[in-house]
Structure 1
Amino acid sequence: MSISLTLLAGLAVLGLFTGLLAGLLGIGGGMLLVPFLTYIIGLQGVAPGLAVKMAIATSMATIMFTSLSSMRAHHRRGAVRWDIAQRLAPGIVMGGLAASLGMFSLLRGSVLAIVFAIFVSFSALQMLRGTKPAASRQLPGTAGQLAAGGGIGFLSGLVGAGGGFVSVPFMTWCNVPIHSAVATSAALGFPIAVVNVLGYVLAGRSETGLPPAALGYVWLPALAAVALCSVLTAPLGARVAHQLPVAQLKRVFASLLFGLAAYMLWKGLRAG
């Protein structure tokens, strides 16, 4: 099945926006990609339910490349808290595998979407209100960060996003400065993506009805087009993030979270 130049151009534009968001806000752009990829993959004759799964998996696969580009840009500025990343990463691996190899195919999407929308809306409201955490609040100990990492990896695996929608509010709630939280979230996007993509590939091996050039649930043409363009704009997003004042960056992030929550709520109610 041939892929038109128009389709490739559309995927390239999606990649440019994805990279910009990854660098600016420490997210992988997955929630932006999933609805568009669902539509595009559906045009290839793929059943609606399978198209959603492939969109989530392919979106996550692009984050492997976007996160590396964004992480390098933030690391050059010394903004990544590698101590936090190292403590969250083991939980992320376990949570991601539990989602991509297990619950990804078991949970009803409508219920998950509504719960997710409520959670994201609450996080965005707290950030938009500028609610300051208690001055004494710090990141939890090793066990607490292991559990937090598990939750981040699990939720990311179910919705095909890089985890910034959870990890950034979590870190700022624990008094990590917003710029460091965004940078560290960008670094966490890589292990989140790798472990979940591994699960999607293994889980999708026996799936029927996949389009040509699919590796498990991952659709390789979209992965290539989006990834190639996203790595170009991720450094630009990271540069802009360090130039914006903290309050403005929080408003941008909260506005994006509200938009994502509205989409997920609509999707859940429509599917229910």
Structure 2
Amino acid sequence: MTSIGALVRPASDGKVNLKADRHGDRNGRSIVFLLALWFSLAFSVLCLAVLIIDAFMDGAVRLDANLFTRYTSQVLPETAGARAAILGSAWVIAVTAVLAIPIGVAAGVYLEEFADGRRWYNKLIEVNLTNLAAVPAIVYGMLTAGFALAIGLERRVVLAGGLALALLILPVIIIATRESLRAVPREIRDGSLALGATPLQTVWRQTLPAAVPGIATGSILALSRALGEAAPLLLLGGLVFVNYDPDGLMSGFTTLPIQIFNWASQPQLAFQQVASAAIIVMLGLLLLMNAVAIIIRNRFQKRW
């Protein structure tokens, strides 16, 4: 039997090194596995870089004022623009945020701070929440279409699109809220309760404000995902040719992913160029939203 002394030996500098720590990264299988990981990462980054560079090369000629001020056209692709798609994306994402963030944060607070994990219905919610986070986006479009049909709601309107995307990102916001609340030290809760505050006052005045940076970061990243979704909106009958600005919850709409999908399916070179230009605009919006999330995290996050 191997003794503990044979596995744990003092190093030359006086520190104790484990045998696995000294030799684990030097065997052949570990090196092959590490090389495979690095190759996979490098290949993925290379493919992404090629796609982005190709989009910039094709769409640079169409990054002009027409892209932001004109509507799409089936006759003159050289002057087609994405104004309706940009405004439609703004409307749908705003509705998504209004629907998903309050409900997601409230559900996360309840499950983390008040729910009794021994209750069967709370266990059922936990299991479903984990599963819903991995459900394909198109399933949420199907659920929204069925719900809209049941209540008599028109599917091709801003409200239906925002509802579908809100269902899509709701599990992500709930999970982000719970993780942010878990990062708050228990001592803050105990101190507040010891001073006479109720559990609700403790959450509202102490725990939740301390978790706001993490919640805001997770919510923005979830909205970034919603901005790039096209499948659930296409299932709802999202329009691909819109020559007007959406002006309300019951207005027809299109979004940047839907418009890009329509342009990219056209054979004309001019449509391919304007699709690439719209891709650049959407990438810029996604980078901006992610940058805001990083700034919020770095500026307001507390180190406990």
Alignment TM class, shorter chain as reference:
0.3 to 0.5
RCO greater where, 1 or 2, for CA within 8 Å and sep 6 or more? 1
Taking structure 2 as the reference length, the TM-score comes to 0.30
Compare the two structures and name the one with the higher helix fraction.
1
Taking structure 1 as the reference length, the TM-score comes to 0.33
The structure whose Rg is larger is 2
